[in-house]
Amino acid sequence: MPRRIRIAIVSFAAWVWVTGVAQGQSGYVPGVTFQKDNPNYPPRNPFYFEGRVDWNLLKIDQPSNAWEFEQRGMHKQDDLEDNAGAIADYRQAIAMNNLDNGTCQLVTTAAQANSGAQLTPPPCMFTVRLRLAVLLSGAESDQAIALYNQVLAIDPLRLGVHASIAEVYVHEAETALNAGDIPGLYAQAIGEFKAELALSPVTALQVQLTGDEANNAHVHWALAEIYEKLSQPADEMRELDLYLKATKYHSDTYPWRIRLAQKKMEKAQAVEEAAKPAQDNN
Amino acid sequence: MYRLVRFGILFLFALAVPTLVGQTPVGNPTESPFKDQDYQRPEKCLPCHQRQYDELRSSVKSGYRNVSPLFNALEVAGNLLNGGLLRPVYSDSVKTTTAADGSIIPLNTNLFTTPAFVNVNQVRAGFCIGCHNGPFLRRADDPTKREVPELAGVGANFLPEQFRPLRDYHLVDVTGKQVIPPEPGGDPPPGSLPSLGAAGVTCDVCHNLAGADLTRSLLADGFANNTLAFNHTIEKVGPFAFPVAVKGNFHVSSNDQSKIALLRSGAFCNSCHDVRVPLAAPGDFQRLERDINPGGQNVLYYRLENLSTEWQIGAYNSTTNPFGKVVRCQDCHMSTFPYAGNSSYQVGDLKITSPTPGIFAENFAAVPGVATDENFPLQKRKVVSHYFTGIDVPLLSTDELKARLGSDYPDAYQPGVDEYGAPKALASRREDLLRAAARISLDNTDKTAKLGETFTVRAECVSLTGHRFPAGFSQERSAYIQLSVTDDSGFLLYQSGYVVDKPHPETGELAPDGNLDDEELEHLHAVVDPGRHTVPYATGQATNGHTNQVFEAGPDDGPEERLFFGRSEGLVLFRNEITRIYLPGQGVGRSDANANPIIATKPHYEETFSAGFANTVDNFRSLQPLVPRTFRYDIKLPTKQQLAEMGIDSIKAPLHVHAQINFEHFPPLFLRFLARTTGPDGPTGHDLKLVSEKRIDDLLKNVRSITSADFTVNIQE
């Protein structure tokens, strides 16, 4: 046998043996051997994951804790348009994560979160309360407001909660059977909208950094609508002016409101101008 | 007799084939038996591998990334916050760190050279450069080969005024001696050339592969943070089972089948394309994850980039996808994709036509007549592209690129096509790749609407990518739905995902400039505190910024409304989110209307735009691959009275709904933060010349309408 062929055979046999050994060393399959716990399931530490995991990725047959009920509720609400099913799951989640029955707690010190140990009971969750509150805001407004207030107890700085409470009061005012209740409901709505504005005030630094003279266009629009209903034109015009300032560089999802606000202000100014000669004559 | 021998060879070959096909990558490999070879400049590979060299040169991972103003600014920003802890230490370091039990331990190994982590600062040391220039960290243990020096002082001893961007160190003169700009962040000195480190992920980085490094990967799985082991020898690993001998033994083409199998697999890419950011205890505030290797229990982290995990457990890493076979990273990013024809298939109720992955060109793997010993004839084989096209284009002009990376550096916008018909321009390939990434449908939208009432638009989206979309640094990479509803005369009734031209006084743009690529989406108005120069330096956000000076909901606030409130309104934003959870007693970095600092009294969640300041992450806001998701928009039409007040009789039927998915290069507000924190008013006290308003205006390039859909809605009287 020629030498070259013998060398080739020996080399090949050696190679086969080496690769076989290499295989034998390896029980390792990337992503399977070690990352076998579902990487899409976030274990609590110290807070629950306050987001939404695609339900199919969680691989849960039946929810077994507050967080899992919340996640299934989100799936029902967002993916299946099953609001009734979502409400049931959110209620179950809150029953299992509740200050009243001692199954959750408010975190009031940094040390609680930094202790390195899981909090017992766990922190109260806010996402599930917000979502349930929104779904209940039409039919069960008291419950909705209570849930929003629970969220403010969990995180008083969270944006949008005061505005959401205000919207519930506006809805209550619009559907009130007793006309005498309406001013009070609107007053509460105004208070909540103002609390929302106070969370992100327009400061001198903000004007310097952004050029914005007002922000939170939707709150100013909502306030203007309330003042219109309360026949408080000066307040309405002030809010419309702030709305226009807030939309100057940011427009609006409903851009026709900008045109409407301008028309309303032009009309109000025309009325004011028309009133001036009369006043002068007097 | 010869026949018997031939049969024997064939038999052995047949025996070997299944071992080749069935290979799984091996962890913690032993040393290569071949002779040592230092890292080579890519130019050394050029004579035999011209095509691969040319392709790789245009990829952002090779060269550009290491001189990228954004990469450099991010690394600088992190260091300014923590006092230089992200800079590498080496074997001759005398630095120490405090272990969890209070003992003092040496800190003389970094992300790449630590055999097994026991302390979070070992992961921090060289954290960014550890992936983008990993093997050079090991090389730099030899002080004569070190490009990036160890900082003299870190933590409270950090000297921000002397701090330089990494790219300052990636320059040499004609003799190969390192040259450094006179001022931190200064322009390359005249006549300077790119150093070896400037080349970033070079040929050697991949082809020196030895195996997965399980003990250095936090979940002992070979994922994330450059957890590969490398040969530093003449053994070069290619994709072919039976490589041909190399001329002059410049290198040996590896015949180690486990290495070849790893190079060809998605697992190879997994070692870098998950990024896990080290965090002090308690780690990610919403997710308990720690190093599971012995001794690593005090090394906690959050998942900044989760791309590899997404692919690993997704449909493309299985046969249950439209193509009926595993589609690897290489099948889209190293193939002729998206230029090799289309496939049609069904995903849920969506009928999709999209480019086919996994089709490779036929070509020579090396230059015939040049590359092989005794000019052994080469055959054409299926070869990979080394473009590694992704979703990035440089934030440097071509002149700037040439100044830092050599006069032959390619223009990302060059005309023409290559020999396979693919655009030579990186920007065009990026755009085409993005257009293959997602689809949208409006078919389930309400068919009628009424004035003064709400109707619902349903935008069904599906990602066709192997990972979630967008992926990578997915807390800043953004895709979103731009949606409009107009009446038949063009009157705009609703818009989402829009941008408005506006001034940006914080970075010197005092009036709208006519450019929309530099505008932020309107879900959020935020300005990030850049910090300020202080003497003495102190770590943390009090003087180094990273908190939000301005943070308020915008008119198109979809992300928060949809996720936390469950409302069907506002922007649909496929952008993952890094978040800072402020704890009770911590200031959020801005003041109330009475100029009093706002202090959290309870845990307060707020989006942050600094990876170094985040303590938790949401990686589920991006779009899951091959699982359609419907996003609803409850849209209220104006009343007749409101129309009348505007002087409009009525809206003209039908309504036209248009939706498109846009890709945003980077959020402008994030770039403006980097501009300010690395600028003259930031903690260094001088301009590091990385990011500026002009750079944002000139080079931020979004890709609009990667896919779109239209729907008509009737108006019911």
The one-letter amino acid code at A151 reads V
- Of B134, B110, B166, B143, the closest CA to residue B232 belongs to B134
For residue B25, is pLDDT > 60? no
Residue B557 and residue A160: Cβ atoms within 8 Å? yes
Residue B553 and residue A250: Cβ atoms within 8 Å? no
Give CA–CA dist B243/B283, Å, rounded.
46
What is the percent of chain B with per-residue pLDDT over 70, rounded to a whole number? 96
B397's tokens: 């002009």
The predicted structure's pLDDT at residue A274: 86
Chain B contact set for A16 (CB, 8 A): 12, 15-16, 19
Residue B603 and residue A53: Cβ atoms within 8 Å? no
Would you place residue B19 in the very low, low, confident or very high pLDDT band (cuts 50, 70, 90)? very low
> Is residue B640 less than 8 Å (CB to CB) from chain A?
no
For residue B28, is pLDDT > 70? no
B414's tokens: 């060059």
CB B519 within 8 A of CB B668: yes
CB B589 within 8 A of CB B541: yes
Contacts of B243 (CB under 8 A, 6+ apart): B253, B254, B255
As a whole number of Å, the CA-based R_g of chain A is: 30
Give CA–CA dist B496/B491, Å, rounded.
15
Residue B12 and residue A16: Cβ atoms within 8 Å? yes
B606's tokens: 């707020």
pLDDT, one tens digit per residue, over B176-189 is 999 999 999 999 99
For residue B610, is pLDDT > 70? yes
Q: Is the dihedral of CA B263, B139, B395, B575 positive or negative?
A: positive
A148's tokens: 């929003």
Would you place residue A116 in the very low, low, confident or very high pLDDT band (cuts 50, 70, 90)? confident
Q: Strand, coil or helix: what is B641? A: helix
Give CA–CA dist B213/B316, Å, rounded.
24
Chain B contact set for A156 (CB, 8 A): 601-602
**Residue holding tokens 């307060």?**
B604
**What average pLDDT score do residues A135-157 get?**
97
Residue A50 and residue B590: Cβ atoms within 8 Å? no
Minimum-distance CB partner of B564 among A86, A127, A205: A127
Q: Strand, coil or helix: what is B225? A: coil
The predicted structure's pLDDT at residue B515: 96
Chain A contact set for B493 (CB, 8 A): 254, 256
- A223 backbone dihedrals φ, ψ, rounded to 5°: -65, -40
Q: For residue A45, what is the DSSP state?
A: B
**Residue holding tokens 């030899």?**
B142
H helix or E strand, kind and range, residue A193:
helix A182-199
**What average pLDDT score do residues B364-377 get?**
89
Would you place residue B677 in the very low, low, confident or very high pLDDT band (cuts 50, 70, 90)? very high
Chain A contact set for B491 (CB, 8 A): 256
Chain B contact set for A265 (CB, 8 A): none
Would you place residue A281 in the very low, low, confident or very high pLDDT band (cuts 50, 70, 90)? low
In B312-371, the residues whose Cβ lies within 8 Å of chain A are 312-313, 317
CB B253 within 8 A of CB B279: no
- Of A85, A88, A90, the closest CA to residue A52 belongs to A90
Q: What is the pTM of this model?
A: 0.94
Chain B contact set for A19 (CB, 8 A): 16, 19-20, 23, 256-258
For residue B414, is pLDDT > 90? yes
Give CA–CA dist A127/B618, Å, rounded.
14
Residue B12 and residue A216: Cβ atoms within 8 Å? no
Distances (CA, A) of B580 to A265, B51, B550: 41, 45, 15
Residue B281 and residue A217: Cβ atoms within 8 Å? no
Q: Is the peptide bond before A122 cis (omega within 30 degrees of 0)?
A: no
pLDDT, one tens digit per residue, over A197-251 is 999 999 999 999 999 999 999 999 999 999 999 999 999 999 999 999 999 999 9
CB B518 within 8 A of CB B702: no
> Is residue B503 less than 8 Å (CB to CB) from chain A?
yes
For residue B589, is pLDDT > 90? yes
Q: Is the peptide bond before B654 cis (omega within 30 degrees of 0)?
A: yes
Contacts of B101 (CB under 8 A, 6+ apart): none
Q: Strand, coil or helix: what is A117? A: coil
CB B237 within 8 A of CB B207: yes
CB A159 within 8 A of CB A104: no
Q: Among all residues of chain B, which has the CA nearest to that of A220?
A: B555
Q: Is the dihedral of CA A98, A99, A103, A106 positive or negative?
A: positive
Q: Is the dihedral of CA B69, B74, B528, B687 positive or negative?
A: negative
For residue A34, is pLDDT > 80? no
CB A48 within 8 A of CB A67: yes
For the ranges B207-221, B360-374, B697-711, the one whose mean pLDDT is highest:
B697-711
Contacts of B673 (CB under 8 A, 6+ apart): B77, B527, B528, B530, B609, B610
CB B373 within 8 A of CB B248: yes
For residue A19, is pLDDT > 70? no
DSSP B380-415: -EEE--S----S---SS-HHHHHHHH-TTPPPTT--
Q: At what angle do helices B257-264 and B266-273 cross, to 10 degrees?
A: 70
Note the ipTM here.
0.94
